[in-house]
A and B are shown apart, each in its own frame.
Chain A
Amino acid sequence: MDFKDTTKEAEFRKKCHDWLDANAPKKDSSKAISGVNDETEYLAEAAKWQKKKYDAGWAMLHWPKEYGGINASPIERIIWGQEESKFDVPRGVYDIGLGMCGPVLMEYATEEQKQRYLPPMAEGKEIWCQLFSEPSAGSDVAGLRSKAVKDGDNWIINGQKVWTSGAHYSDFGILVVRHDPDAEKHKGLTFFFLDMKSPGIEVRPIKQITGTSNFNEVYFNDVVIPDSQRLGEIGDGWKVAITTLMNERLAVGDANGVDVEDAFKLAKKQDDEGDTLINDGSVRDSIADWYCEAKGLSNTKLRTMSALSKGETPGPEASITKIVSANKLQSIGNFGIDSMDMAGMLRSDEGVSRSFQNAWLGAPGLRIAGGTDEILKNIIAERILGLPQDPRADKGVAFKDIPSGN
């Protein structure tokens, strides 16, 4: 057992670090963890940073060489991610494009389309989004209802998507819709990509409980998509979508925000009826629990990396990450507010207490996004422990006959 990189990994890490060090500012840990203030400014910064990475060959490491990547191994992607996260650079804007949309185009698009769309995606000139979830299709995403009707060489799309990150600033999107409501649920779906500036698309931001808007509703009114932008066969939409969703599961990991170290620091200085909070038994109990969870997750990650480093397939252990981290975040957020007793109700504009309040407000969303706690528990039970699926009311039934509650 050891925590050293292999020689090859160490060389790669040094290369990453050296380039980042010469091209990006280091993170300032004294700053509070907060949301993005000005989106336009952030996007401009993100585009600049993406272009810089692209020019130096760091933009899409995991892509195959023929599309400008270096076919980076999973361990190299992790190393790059670890090094990049030490620097104060905008992240996240291009993840959906590079992580989900790019790979799906590589597999299903024509050569000409790949030439047209992949380079600007990698370079940060065009942003992509993913249009899967619908108001009546969340955890049960294959229950989606947006319609595609064939019209000559085109498809006419009507319906509504929801929880689309970045739809309002995206140039293109990938989309699953139902072309055949008479077929079984999973068989009546078809997959497309489309221009987000197409006539008939209306994007409305969703105001979240945080007061901010990170997601959108997207309405389709007779939106025209050429058949040439179909990815996969008619009726293969679910198969294509599953590939992208697998990529999403890999991407959605730790819930970012305050963690046990922040709770510990707060407990050491926060006055509590004449003593500091850290001397309270129930606080010590909670901190021990959070510490075990936080270390349990980071050590689990190290085990996954160990397997990757040896060229082995990692075990299923990383599937616990989001359930544990999102719940821990909620619990720590609650603690931060409670620690100030009555004054905990006051919304603060900055600093540490703002970070705890943001955690408390944001955590409910993290427990839902990218697979709810409940769905993730089903996945652990069915795929890892091998328990049987629930009997389903939607099997072997035409989609239009499945009970929908309305």
Chain B
Amino acid sequence: MNLDFSDEQKFLKEEAKKFLTNEEALKKARNVMENDDAHFDNDLWKKIVELGWTGIRIPEAYDGLGLSHLELCVIAEELGKSLAPTPFSSSVYIFTEFLINFANDEIKEKLLPALVSGEAIGTFAVTEDLMAPTKENINTSVSDNGEISGKKIAIPDAKIATHLIVVAKHSSGIQLRLVDLSDKSVSIDHQKTIDETRAHYSVSFNNTPSLLVGSQSDGWSHYNHVINQSAVLFAFEQVGGAEATLEMATSYAKERYAFGRPIGSYQAIKHKLSDMYVALTLARSNCYYAAWALNSESADFELAAATARVSSTKAFNLCSQENIQTHGGNGFTWEYDCHLYYKRAKLLSVNIGSLKNWKNKLVNNLEKSNTH
């Protein structure tokens, strides 16, 4: 029985933690939030590239480290804890995985080494309207000669990315299309979001050339596959965020005095923090299982991913909001960092689909596995 990370993976996590603390990643997140022109922290991103993290899952044949999802999981947790303002999740959890899983050799040869070296940054575009994307409501179209037209919204990191995977409608079905964002037919506009430490954009395509990634007609299941994978990694980020906010609330409760004693000695606060600990522990344990299921391509992977996603979304939502509550008025100020986590928690709780939709996915999977 070994539902735990290896010593090497734990070491990597420790190193990631040290690095992000030394780099003052949280301060950098605040800087991005407060500076309208800053969309990410370029300096931090360059160092992350130098550490080789962008190539963790990329095979050695393409200059990557050829490591597993488990290494990515431990890094995701630390990124979530530090709120590091970089395009890591868009490029590494999602774009890179689209290519590894579904791209042809030509695309892989061209882009995977560039993703490792940092010359290329990728992201993905699916949503078009103020509702959950489905196979049926995708209107961005791709013609037989591969030209895309339409508009996508809520796309992370589009301005600093070099490439984009677009979920588009073709006469034969939904397709994943690879777009070079430097093409003149593409226009990118910044969109203000609830978490300004992570910049998002709308992108319009006007007969934009693109390449097919994966199947002619089954792009929707490709999309879901990668989103399910990313759910596990985002869940680790959420666990990291939940832990950071529980730690903040705990240390504040020990220092802050009211009525002559630390507020942490009141049961109202103790029970609140204990509820946060319970939610975090359930989420962490479900994340570990999902990491195993992802890494071993277990048959119950989708269910495990949804379980981790739901538990972690709930945990980070709870911990980040009760962290503000524990801080009282201070927690509501711009100056304290509580709101950075509150905002990140909300962003992460919708970025690859809402809590309601992931719960639905979870129960759909239970129904599937019980039909035999």
- Interface: B102 (CB within 8 A): no
Report whether B363 and A377 are in contact in the complex, using a CB–CB cutoff of 8 Å: no
Interface of A toward B, CB cutoff 8 Å: 1-6, 9, 75, 264, 268, 278, 284-285, 287-289, 291-293, 295-297, 299-300, 302-303, 305-307, 309-310, 317, 320, 323-324, 374, 376-378, 380-382, 384-391
A-B contact number at CB 8 A? 156
Report whether B289 and A302 are in contact in the complex, using a CB–CB cutoff of 8 Å: yes
Report whether A324 and B278 are in contact in the complex, using a CB–CB cutoff of 8 Å: yes
| Whole-angstrom distance between the Cβ of A350 and the nearest chain B Cβ | 24
Number of chain B residues whose Cβ lies closer than 8 Å to a Cβ of chain A: 49
The CA of A324 and the CA of B285, in the complex, are separated in Å by 14
Known: A264-B366, A388-B254, A390-B266. A284 touches B281 (CB 8 A): no
Interface of B toward A, CB cutoff 8 Å: 1-5, 70, 246, 250, 253-254, 261-262, 264-267, 269-271, 273-275, 277-278, 281-286, 288-289, 291-292, 295-296, 307, 310-311, 314, 356, 358-360, 362-363, 366-367, 370
Tell me which residues across on chain A come within 8 A of B266, comparing CB atoms: 390
Known: A292-B310, A295-B286, A387-B250. A1 touches B273 (CB 8 A): no
Interface of chain B, main secondary structure: helix
| Whole-angstrom distance between the Cβ of A362 and the nearest chain B Cβ | 21
Tell me which residues across on chain B come within 8 A of A9, comparing CB atoms: 1
Task: List 11 interface pairs A-B (beta carbons < 8 Å), by A numbering.
Answer: A75-B1, A284-B359, A284-B360, A291-B307, A299-B286, A302-B285, A377-B270, A381-B274, A387-B253, A387-B270, A391-B265
| Whole-angstrom distance between the Cβ of B138 and the nearest chain A Cβ | 24
Q: A278-B363, A285-B356 known; 16 other A-B pairs, CB under 8 Å? A: A2-B292, A3-B1, A3-B3, A4-B1, A5-B1, A291-B307, A292-B307, A299-B288, A303-B285, A305-B3, A374-B271, A376-B274, A377-B271, A384-B277, A387-B254, A388-B261
| Residue in A2, A3, A306, A387 whose Cβ sees the most chain B Cβ within 10 Å | A387
For the complex of A and B, the 10 pairs showing the least CB-CB separation, nearest first, are: A296-B282, A381-B270, A288-B359, A299-B285, A387-B264, A377-B274, A380-B274, A300-B285, A302-B3, A1-B292
| Whole-angstrom distance between the Cβ of B108 and the nearest chain A Cβ | 28
Report whether B2 and A310 are in contact in the complex, using a CB–CB cutoff of 8 Å: yes
Q: Which residue of B3, B265, B292 is within 8 Å of A389 (Cβ)?
A: B265
Report whether B1 and A377 are in contact in the complex, using a CB–CB cutoff of 8 Å: no
The CA of A278 and the CA of B367, in the complex, are separated in Å by 9
Chain B's closest residue to A307 (CB) is B4
Tell me which residues across on chain A come within 8 A of B253, comparing CB atoms: 387
| Whole-angstrom distance between the Cβ of A233 and the nearest chain B Cβ | 33
Chain A's closest residue to B291 (CB) is A1
Q: Which residue of B70, B277, B360 is within 8 Å of A380 (Cβ)?
A: B277
Tell me which residues across on chain B come within 8 A of A387, comparing CB atoms: 250, 253-254, 262, 264-265, 269-270, 273
Tell me which residues across on chain B come within 8 A of A377, comparing CB atoms: 267, 270-271, 274-275
Chain B's closest residue to A288 (CB) is B359
Report whether B282 and A300 are in contact in the complex, using a CB–CB cutoff of 8 Å: yes
The CA of A1 and the CA of B10, in the complex, are separated in Å by 12
Q: Which residue of A288, A306, A388 is within 8 Å of B3 (Cβ)?
A: A306
Q: Which residue of A284, A293, A305, A385 is within 8 Å of B274 (Cβ)?
A: A385
Tell me which residues across on chain A come within 8 A of B254, comparing CB atoms: 386-388
